[in-house]
Structure 1
Amino acid sequence: MKAVLNDTVIAEAPESELIRIEGNWYFPPASVNADLLEKSDTPYTCPWKGECQYFSVKDGGALLQDRAWSYPTPYPSSFERVGKDYSNYVAFWKDVQVVE
């Protein structure tokens, strides 16, 4: 599976390594091109996953605000609900297409 923005692959991993949470594909940290992400200061805490880290995504010369996110230290209780540890896995907003 690939996370693609305007023909640029931001993340790529076999589907078996991804995790689906609430309709979003989460990519393992090692599969993400970190050079295309920039940490955002936007705060958010999910009631069951914990504190979220947003990222802006670089698109050529543009920076698309808060188009990716992860949970660096999710609540341990959420691992049972998700089925595994998804710490630092990265998901993407609709602008970024997740394709096979």
Structure 2
Amino acid sequence: MPTASWNGVVIAQARDDEVEIVENNVYFPPSSVKTEYLQASAHTSRCPWKGLASYYSLNVDGKVNENAAWYYPEPSEKAAQIKDHVAFWRGVDVQR
């Protein structure tokens, strides 16, 4: 069961058949992410084929990991399967 953890807390957990793997990143469906740990960020980035990514910072027990999660609210047609799915980096432990 894929999980994403940071600062000793599981941030996301999903069944294998619920996640999408794109460019070796695990994209968790929105329903599997514990949104109480997410803070909206103004940061964005652009992927040439997926589109414009939006970011969240993580806040766990008062510790903040800036822009540690990203998602595509309006991905390109080629990346439609990851719409609103959340991926993690910046020290977040993602286990497949």
Aligned counterparts of 1:28 and 1:14: Cα–Cα separation in 2: 10
Q: Give the structure 2 partner of residue 91 of structure 1.
A: 87
TM-score, normalised on structure 1? Answer: 0.87
Secondary structure of 1:57's counterpart equals strand
Work out the CA distance in 1 between the residues paired with 2:79 and 2:94.
Answer: 24
Aligned partner letter, 2:65: L
Matches for 1:15-94 after TM superposition, within 5 Å: 15-79=16-80, 85-94=81-90
> Could you say which residue in structure 2 is the equivalent of 1:2?
3
Which structure 2 segments of 5+ residues have no match?
A: none
CA contact (8 A) 2:65 2:90 kept: no
Equivalent position SS for 1:48: coil
Q: Size of the alignment, in residue pairs? A: 95
Query: TM-score scaled to structure 2, two decimals?
Result: 0.91
Q: What's the Cα RMSD here?
A: 1.3
The share of aligned pairs that are identical, in percent, is 38
Post-superposition offset of 1:60: 1.3
C-alpha displacement of 1:97: 0.8
Which ranges of 4 or more aligned residues in structure 1 deviate by more than 3 Å?
none
1:94 offset after TM fit, Å?
4.2
Offset, 1:98: 1.4
